[in-house]
Chains A and B, each alone.
Chain A
Amino acid sequence: MKFVHYALEALAGRLVKWLVSLPPTLFLLVFFVAPSLIVVLASFRYPGEFGGLASLLPLFGADSGLTLETYRFFFSDFVYFEIFLKSFGVAALTTLICIVMAYPLAWLIARSPKKRRDLLVLLVILPFASNFLIRVYAWIIILGPFNLLYTSFAVIVGMVYVHLPFMVLPLYTNLEKHDPALLEAAQDLGANAWTRFWKITFPLSLPGIFSGSVLVFIPVLGMFAIPELLGGTGDILIGNLIKEQFLDNRDWPLGAMLSIMLTVAVLALAGLSAWAGRGKGRMA
């Protein structure tokens, strides 16, 4: 009897687990996995005459309606590769500038009296209270008189401005948790201020820098509004390229293919950094 009781209990436990995880699983299946598969499929189809995709069904038999044409196109034209490279460059530069600018800010907030910290964090995220486009337009007004508008510089300024809070917050969360006794111990054992930072604070903040970098790097890669509003003709990034295929060129298969290439590139990069950072988990 006891055995039956335990078996039932185990079954009930498993059932609860399933019930809890069902809604998010369903959500992700419907709104993430299915669309992704649709995008993958679209990248292998022909563009429709007036945008959209050409129908699959009437062509059955003679032609399946599927093609590798868009992929051949991508690898035959160096221009796409160049734009990818440039996008990764802009994302990397934005991330780097964000780290350099966010670090002192996050450090100061983490070191300020506990009562004031929440207020300072609120100030960091306050820009989110106004519309993103309005804030980017504000930069048009700011940069215009200095003849800096429609340049790569303006694009970087806009990117850094919009994404800075995403670097400050994880860094602050990390720095705030540092045990002040560690710095005292380091000082006690002979480390000056400079050494204390590079030997203790900085290595311990690497997980924060990493999460901040992910939160900045990936959105910047896909960003199209900022280059469109602040950049010149030469400042086209992947995001713009993809957007153009869907809205202007009406070449959905090409747009879908570019999205997939971007996803693959980001995943490859994430895998690479995970591989490079393996075994460093104990730092946190």
Chain B
Amino acid sequence: MSILEIRNVTRRFGDLLALDDVTLTIEAGEFFTLLGPSGCGKTTLLRLIAGFDEPDAGRIFLDGVDLAATPPEKRPVHTVFQSYALFPHMTVRDNVAFPLNMAKRPLDEIHERVKQALEQVHLSDKSGHYPHELSGGQKQRVALARGLVNKPRLLLLDEPLGALDAKLREQMEGDLIALQRDVGVTFVFVTHSQQEALALSHRIAVMNEGKVEQVDEPDKLYSFPRNRFVADFIGNINMLAARVAETHHGHLVLQATDLGAVAAPLVKGVKAGDTGVLALRPEQVHISSHAQTPELKNHFHGIVRGLLYLGDVTVYKVELDNGMEMEALLANSAPGRAKFFEVDDDVTVAWRHDAGLFFHD
């Protein structure tokens, strides 16, 4: 059942079109993420849902009711702000009790629910502390407890992990998933980090320049991006400029610039003569020493120009004979070896004929 419906919403700031006819449906109980580069309109959309801003056109429905006439303080929607926005003159306990006090709940109920909420985020021992006495991660958890304590229909999270260091962020990601599952509140999460989005979400809306480019589950988004922007924004990807030479039943034959024929999976609506790019994930690209003859159909000679050793994997930057640089990812899993190739090694890069996606211009 859909809980939030955004219908043809447009928002302009002067000449800037921050949201361009956005339509989205969010399901009850979902962990939904708005993902995009800064300035794509994701935060604007969040502020429209919270009620801090109004759309120039379009409507927003919560549980089937148009929100236009409801001020932010009356919406059953709470927000976890990027800066946390904890009240500095109130203790942790008073911060978390705030929404319950505003809702005029009876005192013993407030007491009980604040206690519960603090237990949920493992902060029971900090209830008498002031925000300035807490670490970044603890503040974050207070903000979460405060947002969830009055059981909103929707919890909006505006880049809540942005201010945390990498290790803590990873831990908070795990906590967030568990928390969302436990409380069952629908989360609308805003981030510019595709890793965060992929790790946390049930579904992701990728936004760019005020438009929604694609809404999908993380694995579908990664494996089947609908267009070049999504392919490029989610994860790393190689873009091989090519022209369609032939279309067969099962696959395309591409002519890559200064390289030769490349087999690729068929794309609907593409015909011979179309130009575009073949998008290939680095983990789809195999790399082997020159002497070996790979059994894969697409294989090309290249020279290792650089490598990025990441511990678990190494990313090799291979220059092909046409001057194009291609990234290939190799797991460092062979026993007794740190990495496989060095800079200036002659190698062969290869990929399956059904790997990659062709996007025509």
A residues adjacent to B (C-beta < 8 A): 179, 181-182, 184-192, 195, 199-200, 203-204, 282-283
From A188, A195, A200, give the contact of B87 (CB < 8 A): A200
Which residues B277-292 have CB closer than 8 A to chain A?
none
- CA gap between A190 and B146 in the complex, in Å: 12
Residue from B74, B78, B79, B85 having most chain A Cβ neighbours under 10 A:
B85
Query: Which B residues are in CB contact (< 8 Å) with A190?
Result: 73-74, 99, 102-103, 150
Residue from B71, B99, B150 having most chain A Cβ neighbours under 10 A:
B99
Q: How far is the CB of A165 from chain B (nearest CB, A)?
A: 27
B87:A184 contact, CB within 8 angstroms:
no
From A188, A192, A195, A282, give the contact of B79 (CB < 8 A): A188
Query: Which A residues are in CB contact (< 8 Å) with B99?
Result: 189-190
Query: Which A residues are in CB contact (< 8 Å) with B71?
Result: 187
From A181, A188, A200, give the contact of B72 (CB < 8 A): A188
Give 16 A-B contacts (CB < 8 Å), ordered by A residue. A181-B83, A181-B85, A182-B85, A184-B72, A184-B81, A185-B85, A186-B98, A188-B73, A188-B78, A189-B102, A189-B150, A190-B102, A191-B98, A203-B89, A282-B88, A283-B89
A282:B132 contact, CB within 8 angstroms:
yes
From A189, A195, A199, A282, give the contact of B146 (CB < 8 A): A189
Q: Flag whether B52 is at the interface (Cβ < 8 A).
A: yes
Q: Flag whether B300 is at the interface (Cβ < 8 A).
A: no
Q: Flag whether B130 is at the interface (Cβ < 8 A).
A: yes
B residues adjacent to A (C-beta < 8 A): 50, 52, 71-74, 77-79, 81, 83, 85-89, 98-99, 102-103, 130, 132, 146-147, 150
Which residue of B has the minimal Cβ distance to A204?
B89
A-B pairs with lowest CB-CB distance, top 10 = A190-B102, A185-B85, A189-B99, A181-B85, A283-B89, A188-B79, A187-B72, A203-B89, A187-B73, A282-B130
Q: How far is the CB of B150 from chain A (nearest CB, A)?
A: 8
Q: How far is the CB of A196 from chain B (nearest CB, A)?
A: 9
- CA gap between A189 and B117 in the complex, in Å: 15
- CA gap between A282 and B134 in the complex, in Å: 13
Which residue of A has the minimal Cβ distance to B74?
A190
Interface contacts (Cβ under 8 Å), in number, total: 62
Query: Which B residues are in CB contact (< 8 Å) with A200?
Result: 87
B132:A188 contact, CB within 8 angstroms:
no
- Indicate whether A185 sits within 8 Å of B81 (C-beta atoms), given known contacts A191-B102, A200-B87: yes
- CA gap between A204 and B79 in the complex, in Å: 22
Q: How far is the CB of B230 from chain A (nearest CB, A)?
A: 31
Query: Which A residues are in CB contact (< 8 Å) with B132?
Result: 282
Query: Which A residues are in CB contact (< 8 Å) with B86?
Result: 185
Q: How far is the CB of A279 from chain B (nearest CB, A)?
A: 11
A186:B87 contact, CB within 8 angstroms:
yes
Q: A182-B88, A186-B87 are in contact. List 8 more A-B contacts (CB 8 A).
A: A185-B86, A188-B52, A188-B77, A189-B147, A199-B87, A282-B89, A282-B130, A283-B88
B102:A195 contact, CB within 8 angstroms:
yes
B79:A185 contact, CB within 8 angstroms:
yes
B73:A192 contact, CB within 8 angstroms:
yes
B88:A188 contact, CB within 8 angstroms:
no
Q: How far is the CB of A90 from chain B (nearest CB, A)?
A: 32
Which residue of B has the minimal Cβ distance to A202?
B89
A184:B52 contact, CB within 8 angstroms:
yes
Query: Which B residues are in CB contact (< 8 Å) with A182?
Result: 85, 87-88
- CA gap between A186 and B78 in the complex, in Å: 10
- CA gap between A91 and B85 in the complex, in Å: 38
- CA gap between A184 and B87 in the complex, in Å: 11
A191:B73 contact, CB within 8 angstroms:
yes
B83:A189 contact, CB within 8 angstroms:
no
Query: Which A residues are in CB contact (< 8 Å) with B150?
Result: 189-190
